[in-house]
Amino acid sequence: MTRIGVLSVQGDVREHLQALESAGAEAIRVRRPEEVERIDALVIPGGESTVMDKLVRAFGLFEPLRERLAQGMPAYGSCAGMIMLADRIEDGRADQQTLGGLDITVRRNAFGRQVDSFEEDLHIRALGPQPLRAVFIRAPWVEHVGASVEVLARVETGPAAGRIVAVRQGPLLATSFHPEVTGDHRVHAYFIDVVRRG
């Protein structure tokens, strides 16, 4: 069975564990370096990327995770997790680092302070014809994508229409929104498919 680790230093870990199990994978918490060896793929939850970055380094996870990602381990990052996977950040903290791998530039808290959170139905071809309810909470958007990055979804209405909010680059997947909180597990199922098909 495919064993997917959920980075468990901070953020909404439990929701991702449940979504992965519902979508048919074995899901385990990753909090210690030796656990990084035991997983086929990684999910990085939403939370606060500046805190997650500090804790990942404090727990000795930064190097092992970077190494496995560099070797091609599949990973999915949601919101703060998207920031953790991005090669470049705008509006990050001065000393903020990322695990990297995704050739994108993300803008933290991109939707502005007034727009703390909002929801929208997104049409994402990779997930089928049914729209997906996307929940955005102090979300980043993708400011720039490299040539090998596929854009999976953009905001469809309002002042941010057209902004990129879901991307894939080979085994790496990231969304600005939180599919783990809606009960619709198609994003997790899609990721599990990416992991199994390679």
Q: How far is the CB of 113 from ligand GLN (least distance, A)?
A: 11
How far apart CA 90 and CA 142 sit, in angstroms, is 10
Q: How far is the CB of 173 from ligand GLN (least distance, A)?
A: 15
How far apart CA 30 and CA 17 sit, in angstroms, is 11
Q: Which residues bind ligand GLN (CB under 6 A)?
A: 46-49, 79-80, 83, 108-109, 137-138
Is 16 assigned a catalytic role? no
End-to-end CA distance of the chain: 14
Is 67 assigned a catalytic role? no
Residue 2 or residue 182: which is nearer to ligand GLN going by CB? 182
Q: How far is the CB of 138 from ligand GLN (least distance, A)?
A: 4
Catalytic residue, candidates 120, 180, 185, 188 = 180
How far apart CA 115 and CA 60 sit, in angstroms, is 35
Residue 4 or residue 86: which is nearer to ligand GLN going by CB? 86
Q: How far is the CB of 80 from ligand GLN (least distance, A)?
A: 3
54 dihedral zone (left: phi>0; alpha: psi -120 to 50; beta): alpha
How far apart CA 117 and CA 105 sit, in angstroms, is 21
Is 188 assigned a catalytic role? no
| Residue 136 and residue 145 in contact, taking contact as beta carbons nearer than 8 Å | no
Residue 108 or residue 185: which is nearer to ligand GLN going by CB? 108
Catalytic residue, candidates 79, 120, 185, 188 = 79
Amino acid at 118: F
Catalytic residue numbers, as ranges: 79, 178, 180
